[in-house]
Amino acid sequence: MAVLESANKIRKKKALENKWFLYGFIDKNPGLTIYELSKKIKWSPGKISYYIKKLVKDGLLKNSTEIVNGRTNKKYYGKSMKEFINWNEWNKD
Structural domains of the chain, with CATH: 2-90 (1.10.10.10)
Rounded Cα distance, 51 and 85, in Å: 24
Q: What is the pLDDT of residue 4?
A: 86
**For residue 75, what are the contacts with CB-CB under 8 A and spacing of at least 6?**
30, 31, 32, 33, 63, 64, 66
Q: What is the pLDDT of residue 3?
A: 82
Angle between helices 34-41 and 2-28 (to 10 degrees): 110
Q: What is the pLDDT of residue 91?
A: 62
Query: pTM (2 decimals)?
Result: 0.78
Rounded Cα distance, 38 and 6, in Å: 30
| Residues in the chain with pLDDT values less than 70 | 1, 81-93
